[in-house]
Amino acid sequence: MRPAGKEILAYLQDCEAEMLAAIEAMAGIESPSSDAASQIPLREFLVPMFAELGFVCVALTGRNSGGHLYARPRERQRHDPCQLMLGHYDTVWPRGTLRSMPFQRQQDVVHGPGVYDMKGGIAQMLFALRAIREFGLRPALTPVVFLNSDEEIGSRESTRHIRRIARVCERVFVLEPSLGPDGYLKTARKGIGRFTVTVHGRAAHAGLDPDAGASAILELSHVIQSLFALNDPERGITVNVGTIDGGLRPNVIAPKSTAVVDVRVRTHQDGERISAAIHGLQPATPGVQLETEGAIGRPALEPTPRNQVLWRLAKNYATELDLDLQQGIAGGGSDGNTTSQLTATLDGLGPVGDGAHAAHEHLYIARTLERTALLTMLLLAPPHDAARTAS
């Protein structure tokens, strides 16, 4: 029988010093996404941490990343039903950030690069598993762990592994940080797309023979206006031309110009529609051609019926901890966007704090311990068939 939520929390509160030591150690191993070599020491730090809990770790090598870590219980039977704890150990912070942004504790607040997004979430995984072991319990669904090192740059190498694991899991708990200082769970995330529109024009001397040219920059100005016209705030659609480039010199009609576009959508349907609109752009300037590349790389995480089953489960368990848990939508994506297409997914179970990707990044210790207790309870929850079959 599962212990009461407050009994689990009391145990984890007794582990506070050890949990903070683990977070400090991870923050001290700087692991920027762009530096593959920097990520290997952190992965090697985590292997014995999971091994001590009875997990076998498999290091998955990467071509351009520092690789990834898959961990499963040593005694797991091959075809046992399972559940996935998902996270990443890369950060947005370059090496040397600790000099200007050191790990430090100020009463209930811990500051430092990556503590909130999401090394604190990795610590939650470890100590939730530790609590389960301490109480001598065996979850009905075998917990497995996947941690990647390229999440902050789109998970291009790791997505295939995430899909493979999610397909055989009954549910996924994503230990990304909670939504804002109020600690909302992320039951919806926008889908994210990246597109590049290239205009091919024709060069000519701007003073001697302008009519012989076809300005790619003039056409790009029309393209940009068409792209911004796709914005629909009420539907949560944002289309942003983030960078432009083009031209040779002031006295030459520009033969080429490009625009790089960021797209955010709330639904898969809107993603398909906006993608079709961008790829369907037609030139307004005679003599030019448009070339469009890109797609919605991370589909939207939507509040599907099976995802809402997990949300209601978390909401119910939170009452045992006297937590008034709320849900919200995040504008950024995560690997939960991917798993949500395949199985029940609940995101934002990581630390409560603020400042992801910002100099004031921090987490609240007491509330993060509460989240760890909630994660422990969710891991011990029985299977919910509706979460697997509903869509």
Q: Which domains does the chain have, with CATH numbers?
A: 5-189+300-389 (3.40.630.10), 194-298 (3.30.70.360)
Q: Which residue has the higher pLDDT, 63 or 247?
A: 247
- Which tokens sit at 237? 């659609």
31-80 pLDDT, tens digit each: 999 999 999 999 999 999 999 999 999 999 888 899 999 999 998 777 78
Under 8 Å between Cβ of 96 and 34: no
Q: What is the mean pLDDT of the chain?
A: 95
Mean pLDDT, range 130-135, rounded to an integer: 98
Distance CA(141)–CA(196), nearest Å, equals 43
Structure confidence at residue 390 as a pLDDT band (50, 70, 90): very low
The candidate with the shortest Cα–Cα distance to 390, out of 84, 88, 170, 233, is 170
Residue 173: beta bridge partners?
85, 346
Cα–Cα distances (Å) from 26 to 14, 41, 46, 80, 376, in that order, read 20, 10, 9, 31, 21
Mean pLDDT, range 143-148, rounded to an integer: 98
Q: Exposed (0-12), middle (13-18) or buried (19+): which is 373, by Cβ within 10 Å? A: buried
Per DSSP, 116 falls in state I
Structure confidence at residue 385 as a pLDDT band (50, 70, 90): low
Query: Global pTM?
Result: 0.92
How high is the pLDDT of residue 84?
98
The candidate with the shortest Cα–Cα distance to 141, out of 173, 162, 171, is 171
How high is the pLDDT of residue 180?
87
Structure confidence at residue 295 as a pLDDT band (50, 70, 90): very high
Structure confidence at residue 391 as a pLDDT band (50, 70, 90): very low
Q: What is the CA radius of gyration of the chain?
A: 24
Mean pLDDT, range 102-125, rounded to an integer: 97
170-221 pLDDT, tens digit each: 999 999 999 988 999 999 999 999 999 999 999 999 999 999 999 999 999 9
How high is the pLDDT of residue 389?
47
- Run of H or E residues at 327: strand 327-330
Mean pLDDT, range 366-384, rounded to an integer: 96
